[in-house]
Amino acid sequence: MTRLLVWRHGNTDYNAGGRVQGQTDAPLNARGRDQAAAGAALLASLKPDVLVSSDLSRAHDTASALAALTGLSIKSDARLRERHFGEWQGELLTDIEARYPAEYARWRAGDPSPGSGIESLDDLAKRMLAALQDAATLAPGGTVVVTTHGGAARQGCGALLGWPNEAIRTLGSLHNCHWTELRDRTKRTGGTGWQLMAHNVGVIGEH
C-alpha cells in the first residue's frame, strides 16, 4: 500500500514571533534547521522512495535535510504552498486582531472565507488534494514524503480523507517538523481508500 508522510517545515522567525507567514518566503532559523536535521533522521529510517516539497524555502530547505541523508532528489510543487493570507501576510497576529477584528473573529471561528483577501479553505483544499494525489502516484506501493506547511497540511490531509471542514478543524495543527501519516489501503480493503494512521509524529519533546 502507498504511504504518504505529510511533513511540516522547521521553525522560522515568523513562527517564533507570532507573525503570519502565508506564502511569504520566510527562511528557516537556526532552531528550524536543527529540527529539520532531527526529523530527517527519523524519516530516513522509514526508507522514503520519493521527496516532494513546496517551493517556499522553509519547506524546501527542510526537505533538503532528508535528501542529504537519503540521496533522493526533491520534486518541487508550488501547489504545496501555505494558504495565502492576503492582507495579513507578514503581520503580527496581535496587530491583525486589532486592525481586522471582524475578519479575525470569522477566521478564528473557522469561516472558510473570512475576507481580507485570504484564500478560501475550499480553494486551498482543491490545490492541496491535487498535489497530494499526484505525489502519491510517484511511488505506488511505496513511501512518499511531502514537505509542506501547517495549514496546508491539515486542509490537504482532510481533503484526501474526504472530511468536511467541521471535521478537519478538529485535527490539531502539526508542530514544526512533525508529520501526518496516511495510507492508501484500497487494494487491501477493497475500496476504503486513504486512512489516517498517525498525526503529529516527530522528535519527542520538540514542538
- Residues that are catalytic: 9, 82
The Cα–Cα gap between 145 and 132 comes to 10
Q: Which of 120, 119, 159 is nearest to 136 (CA)?
A: 159
The Cα–Cα gap between 207 and 201 comes to 10
The Cα–Cα gap between 1 and 143 comes to 9
